[in-house]
Amino acid sequence: MLYYVYILHNVKHNKIYIGFTSDLRARISSHNELGTKGWTIKFRPWKLVHTETFKTKREALRREKELKSATGRQFIRREILHQNV
The radius of gyration of the chain from alpha carbons, rounded to an integer in Å, stands at: 12
Percent of the chain residues past pLDDT 90, beyond the cut: 95
- In the prediction, which pLDDT does 14 show? 94
Q: What is the mean pLDDT of residues 55-65?
A: 98
| Domain layout of the chain by residue ranges | 3-83
pLDDT band with cut points at 50, 70 and 90 for residue 84: low
Question: In degrees rounded to 5, what are phi and psi of residue 19?
Answer: -150, 175
CATH assignment of 3-83?
3.40.1440
Q: Nearest-CA neighbor of 20 among 33, 36, 37, 1?
A: 1
Q: Can you give the pTM of this predicted structure?
A: 0.93
| Pairing mode of beta strands 15-21, 3-10 | antiparallel
Asked if the model's pLDDT at residue 71 lies above 70, the reply is yes
Instruction: Check if the beta carbon of residue 53 is closer than 8 Å to that of residue 9.
Output: no
pLDDT of residue 31 exceeding 80: yes
